Amino acid sequence: MSSLANIIWMSSVILIMVILLVMSFMGLKNDKYAEKKGSLSNVGVKSENRE
């Protein structure tokens, strides 16, 4: 039972990481579009890239 819980936990963590990577990649790809919307997540990505 504990192994099943570990598998579910790891798969959920990997899924969240993949979603974050895809969101950050899409934010970089749609940079000009994001500037018009002014979303906060893309502003954070931009500040990381400047450094």
Q: Where are the domains of the chain?
A: 18-51
Q: What local confidence, expressed as pLDDT, does residue 27 receive?
A: 76
pLDDT under 50: residue ranges of the chain: 51
Q: What local confidence, expressed as pLDDT, does residue 32 receive?
A: 60
What letter would DSSP give residue 3? H
Contact call for residues 27 and 34 (beta carbons, < 8 A): yes
d(CA 32, CA 46): 11
